[in-house]
Structure 1
Amino acid sequence: MIELLRRYPLPIIVLAQLFGTSLWFSVNGVWLSLAGELGLQEADMGRLTLAVQTGFIVGTLTLAVTGLADRFGASRIFAVSSLLGAVFNGGFVLVAAFAPLDLLLRFATGLCLAGIYPLGMKLVIAWTPKYSGVALAWLVGMLTLGTALPHLMRGATLGLPWEWPLLVASVLALVGAAMVFVLGDGPYLPKSGGAVPLRQGLAALQIPRFRAVAGGYFGHMWELYAFWTLTPLLLGRELQRLDAGDGFIPWLAFAIIGIGAVGCVGGGRLSRTRGSEWVAWRALAISGGICLVYPLLSGLSPLLLIALLFVWGVAVIADSPQFSALAAESAPRESVGSSLAVMNAIGFSLTLPAIWLTSGLWGLLGHWVVLLLVPGPVLGLWSLSRGNRTQRA
């Protein structure tokens, strides 16, 4: 059985990633029912989302500081993190009405996600190093579907208690933990003999090529999670204009976020012929352009704007696996895990002000808050372009 799994490591890893990352936006997926029952507001959703993001940042920094990402087996860290994440996510059902315990458990879930996403990237590189851009595209595609999955589960359980989708996400995470634990670590990365300190993870930022790629990734991250957080709110506005019920929101939110997996996989295929940087630059330019024009088109047909959200959903994540592949290529080989963990930590730190600003100002500015996301893609494209000029010089 184990040998059979190891013949097809990529499907095992990406499926486990899908299951594990269903914990990420599990509360967002049940938000309408949860908010209605407990009397919560959009700002409360922002705080719960920020708690997860903060936990993820602290977790990635802990991996980098302690060297766990390079010292211990990636499969073991992934499995333990998925197991604990399932417990904390399920525990939220018991404390949802009790602040600050609700924020604490979402923070703990974010800590566990730090052992799932970056370690999933390392597992992919360790098992399938030849076409890392393509393989990482599948991995991030599953992260995207995992993020969207709670919306699907909520749509499928409308009329049922909001606790059900959260508990299903925990069960899926347990299955993912078992799959990766059985698979084990790949053969293509050297094992570190000791802890890799934070300064070695940070040292990659002194490499001009890594720094340029990281800058592009940081701009991408400013936009990505804020857009995913805003998706149900943007949909609610357009469905209200159509006089359609809120019951369509979870289905459409799943589709708009989940379609990003198509962008990831399609971008991965293109990267084999065009290169990862070609894909990343164009995806970031498209999503940044939509950031800019979306509120300016707010008077057009709601159906047209919903269609534009689908295009945005494709482009907003298609660059992510290519940034990770480019970063892995340019990072020191002996500290790939720590370098990616540091890049993830900084990138996810930038999601905090983006989510806080957009969710907090939604009540005042409505759909115009998306203009606050424009600086991310602009600065990301500038970093990539500047890096290319420096490299040619």
Structure 2
Amino acid sequence: MRASPGINVQLLVVVFAQFAGTSLWFAGNAILPELQPLLKMTGLTSWITSAVQIGFITGTLLYALLAIPDRFRSTYVFLVSVTLAAFVNLSWLFLPIKAETILVSRFMTGFFLAGVYPVGMKIAADRFKSILGKAMGFLVGALVLGTAFPHLIRGLDASLPYRTLMLSVSLLAVSGGILLTWVVPTTSGQARGRFFRFQVLTSLVKPSGFRPAMLGYFGHMWELYTLWAFLPTLIVYYKQEHSDVALMGSLWAFGSIAAGALGCVVGGYFALRVGSAQVARLLLLISGLCIILTPLFIAAPPFLFGLFLLVWGTSVAGDSPQFSTLVANYASTENRGSVLTLVTCFGFLLTVISIQLMAWLIDQVGMSGWLFYMLLPGPVLGLLAMRRMSQCD
């Protein structure tokens, strides 16, 4: 029998597989400059992003209701899901280039990513229990880097043909799934019966350590993706307010979002010392303060504004792995995969609502730093929930 690699090697492989798989999520954004002239469609950016988000929400709901992450071996679920996601990510290349085919491809890519991101967290929860906060930090950090990657490509003006880029990303994703299945051992599915037990839904609302962790995660998600979505818009607004300032907006956006990966990793190490709840509360508080200070820093010099974006980017993503750790720790072992998937589903549903609300406000009143106060209820309600959690511990 083949000996299992060490725990550090396994963690490295899970992190790589997570990055490789979730890079499919943002592949559509990286090729938008080449697609726009071919499609001549306005608002393509928001539609491509929303198609993946809605597909992911649909997929996570179905995966959870069918208990797929708990009924089958996690690494097999990851491999099959990432392979299907890679296939549909490429499917539109073999069809006439139309907005409809691209959006369906993006939707289905998001759908099958439901077996990648949450299942990767389940694998980490099963394999790295003693260092789960740190492991989650690396996992979510990989996702954050994948989010920032399209901005880096645009900022560096990469000229890869879009077909080559899409093929490369798909092959990378499948290779990550194969490597994960080969290196990381996993236990058999634990769920009994054919379907997700709906009684587990009661754990989302009954008083326990799980509920405040989940509510804190929801508050964090209300802020996170909306900031990421409108960060380039905020930077453009800053440039308009400071017409004498020359800066590369795409690289600023990349640096601000990528800083979240550092927050995830460093927060993971601190969680080993002070606990995930303490780290999550602190970073959620910092990101909430950044929302309040946004109008002030829009009037600040470029150096201070850039530093502000780095702090906000670090804190807004850095608490995510610790909320995932808390949810995983409080969820029952038998249904952990389904619960993680379901909570992720609801969290991403909130991001769609938050993004659409921000887009509507900008359309109604125009861009302003004060509009980001719309994100403030997320950190505030999340902190209130975490305060109640400290009483449960």
* CA displacement, residues 340-359 of structure 1 (integer Å, 9 cap, x when unaligned): 11111111110111111223
Aligned residue number for residue 266 of structure 2: 266
Amino acid across the alignment from 1:183: V
Amino acid across the alignment from 1:387: M
Query: Structure 2 vs 1, CA of residues 194 and 387 (structure 1 numbering), >3 Å: closer, same or farther?
Result: same
Unmatched 5+ residue regions in structure 2? none
Q: Contact (CA 8 Å) 1:46, 1:356: kept in 2 or not? A: no
C-alpha RMSD of the superposition: 2.6
Q: Contact (CA 8 Å) 2:4, 2:184: kept in 1 or not? A: no
Question: Aligned pair 1:324/2:324, yes or no?
Answer: yes
TM-score, normalised relative to structure 1 = 0.90
Tell me how far apart the structure 1 counterparts of residues 39 and 361 of structure 2 sit (CA, whole Å).
21
Q: Contact (CA 8 Å) 2:61, 2:341: kept in 1 or not? A: yes
Aligned residue number for residue 350 of structure 2: 350
Question: Aligned pair 1:115/2:115, yes or no?
Answer: yes
TM-score, normalised relative to structure 2 = 0.90
Amino acid across the alignment from 2:310: F
Query: Structure 2 vs 1, CA of residues 96 and 274 (structure 1 numbering), >3 Å: closer, same or farther?
Result: farther
Q: Contact (CA 8 Å) 1:19, 1:172: kept in 2 or not? A: yes
Q: Contact (CA 8 Å) 2:4, 2:183: kept in 1 or not? A: no
Task: Judge which range, 257-266 or 296-305, deviates more.
Answer: 296-305
Compute the displacement of 1:234 (Å). Answer: 2.2
Amino acid across the alignment from 2:229: T
Amino acid across the alignment from 2:150: P
Tell me how far apart the structure 2 counterparts of residues 33 and 282 of structure 1 sit (CA, whole Å).
41
Q: Contact (CA 8 Å) 1:46, 1:359: kept in 2 or not? A: no
Aligned residue number for residue 211 of structure 1: 211
Aligned residue number for residue 137 of structure 1: 137
Query: Structure 2 vs 1, CA of residues 81 and 249 (structure 1 numbering), >3 Å: closer, same or farther?
Result: farther
Q: Contact (CA 8 Å) 2:90, 2:170: kept in 1 or not? A: yes
Tell me how far apart the structure 1 counterparts of residues 239 and 385 of structure 2 sit (CA, whole Å).
37
Query: Structure 2 vs 1, CA of residues 69 and 388 (structure 1 numbering), >3 Å: closer, same or farther?
Result: same
Amino acid across the alignment from 1:102: I
Tell me how far apart the structure 1 counterparts of residues 310 and 274 of structure 2 sit (CA, whole Å).
24
Tell me how far apart the structure 2 counterparts of residues 322 and 237 of structure 1 sit (CA, whole Å).
32
Alignment of 1:82-97 (within 5 A): 82-93=82-93
Aligned residue number for residue 25 of structure 2: 24
Which of 355, 372, 375 is the matching residue for 1:370? 372
Compute the displacement of 1:307 (Å). Answer: 2.2
Q: Contact (CA 8 Å) 2:72, 2:189: kept in 1 or not? A: no
Compute the displacement of 1:318 (Å). Answer: 0.9
Compute the displacement of 1:262 (Å). Answer: 0.7
Query: Structure 2 vs 1, CA of residues 244 and 171 (structure 1 numbering), >3 Å: closer, same or farther?
Result: farther
SS at match of 2:150: helix
Aligned residue number for residue 298 of structure 2: 298
Tell me how far apart the structure 2 counterparts of residues 29 and 242 of structure 1 sit (CA, whole Å).
27
Tell me how far apart the structure 2 counterparts of residues 253 and 83 of structure 1 sit (CA, whole Å).
30
Query: Structure 2 vs 1, CA of residues 193 and 263 (structure 1 numbering), >3 Å: closer, same or farther?
Result: same
Aligned residue number for residue 152 of structure 2: 152
Tell me how far apart the structure 2 counterparts of residues 198 and 34 of structure 1 sit (CA, whole Å).
44
Query: Structure 2 vs 1, CA of residues 28 and 301 (structure 1 numbering), >3 Å: closer, same or farther?
Result: farther
Question: Aligned pair 1:237/2:237, yes or no?
Answer: yes
Which of 377, 383, 386 is the matching residue for 1:384? 386
* Identity rate, percent: 38
